[in-house]
Structure 1
Amino acid sequence: MESVNVAIIYYSATGTVHTLAQAAAEGAEKAGATVRLRKVAETAPREAIDAKEAWAKHVDATADVAEASLDDLEWADAVLFGTPTRFGNPASQLRAYIEATGGLWFQGKLAGKVYSAFTASNTAHGGQESTLLTLANTFYHWGGIIVPPGYTDPIQFKSGNPYGTSVVANDAAGAEVAVQAARHQARRLVDTAAALKAGRAAA
């Protein structure tokens, strides 16, 4: 199998998306990829973070996770984005990172890569699908190849989201299913990127 570089770039406020990102990294590594797990910069003021105990605790607990740079996008053959939903959209912290990619986009350096995404919300109908579809709009503009999990593994019939792994925060029963789904999504991403890379090399 062709060697594949995978960037898992995410934002997490209280840890739910972080857990999915870690599971995705495990799945990608097990599939043979070289993985960069990166969080995007926190843009909220510290006083806002400290006003919510779970938020402050997570920020401090993940202080050692490297922040995403534009180099991570350029380096990657495949990119998996993670974000909580914010009114049915990606979090502003992730959007700030994405909106800084204009230079890479203009040079064509984001085209032809494989992309996918995962999310979490506070309620069962909290905008999970619309968040993932909104991220896909960006991938279209980049000229990316979008690889959703679909129903390509039995776990998907339990997770219920063919657009990308999603979970309701604080849903203990759904959390383990979501972790398994994230691993599968990452493996599928790697397998697709490897096949694409091999095909291009053969051509």
Structure 2
Amino acid sequence: MSVNILVLFYGYGAIVDLAKEVTKGSEEEGGQVRLRRVRETIYPELIEKYSIPLDSVKDIQEVSLDDMEWADGFVIGSPTRYGNMAGGLKTFLDTTAPLWKKGSLYGKPVGFFTEASTVHGGHETTILTMATYAFHFGMVIVPLGYGIPEISTSVTGGSPYGASHLSSSKELDNNERIIARFLGKRVTQVAKKLKS
């Protein structure tokens, strides 16, 4: 059975790498994946001041509400901003009220991923802040638990809550890649079961 999976993220650098690993995991499980990003909401003068690499994601389409309706399952990611999701992702999610009103996402599975620069920088709280939307939509939250050994042995990113990256290192390590792919596979497996 084929299922449609939307991998949605805000950000640049390692969060994009995580999104791509999640995509690979879903595709390995037979998911038809759309990789999408949310629009940048930072003021243009700050984009230049902080050297935000907009060019690095220009080939990834911006998400639309049609993408959201198309999906049978979701994996949503954001870097940590003070223990919370980034404002760009929240701004997009705040536009999804028409889908909530129609019940378009009700009963669909969703998992989450994030990155933070320190061990206690908010990996788990960021996932929890993204999950509040899922509660209101009546979605099925798909945690990782300790489903693979890498989750309990990783000293960088990844937890029972979802895939993550400890961004004090620029590159994803092998455990982080494995955990991100596992997240993509797990959400796809749950989407298949719920769709059947």
**What TM-score, normalized by structure 2, do the two folds share?**
0.94
For the 8 Å contact 2:119–2:166, the answer to whether it is kept is yes
For the 8 Å contact 2:14–2:172, the answer to whether it is kept is no
Task: Select which of 32, 46, 50 maps to 1:34.
Answer: 32
Give runs of aligned pairs for residues 95-110 of structure 1, distance below 5 A: 95-110=90-105
Per the TM alignment, residue 173 of structure 1 is displaced from its structure 2 partner at its CA by 7.8
**What TM-score, normalized by structure 1, do the two folds share?**
0.91
Cα distance in 2 for partners of 1:27, 1:158 equals 20
Corresponding residue number in structure 2 for 1:48? 46
Task: Select which of 14, 17, 31 maps to 2:15.
Answer: 17
Cα distance in 2 for partners of 1:173, 1:5 equals 28
Per the TM alignment, residue 180 of structure 1 is displaced from its structure 2 partner at its CA by 1.2
Corresponding residue number in structure 1 for 2:164? 166
Deviant stretches of 4+, over 4 Å? none
Cα distance in 1 for partners of 2:147, 2:127 equals 18
Cα distance in 2 for partners of 1:11, 1:91 equals 7
Corresponding residue number in structure 2 for 1:92? 87
Alignment-mate amino acid for residue 166 of structure 1: S
Q: Deviations over 1:33-71 (max 9, x none)?
A: 100000100011222111223x23xx1121111001111
Alignment-mate amino acid for residue 109 of structure 1: S
Corresponding residue number in structure 2 for 1:77? 72
How high is the sequence identity, in percent, across the aligned residues?
Answer: 39
Q: Which runs of 5 or more residues in structure 1 are unaligned?
A: 199-203
Per the TM alignment, residue 172 of structure 1 is displaced from its structure 2 partner at its CA by 5.6
Cα distance in 1 for partners of 2:45, 2:117 equals 22
Q: CA RMSD in A?
A: 1.4
Give runs of aligned pairs for residues 139-178 of structure 1, distance below 5 A: 139-159=134-154, 160-171=158-169, 175-178=173-176
Q: Which runs of 5 or more residues in structure 2 are unaligned?
A: none
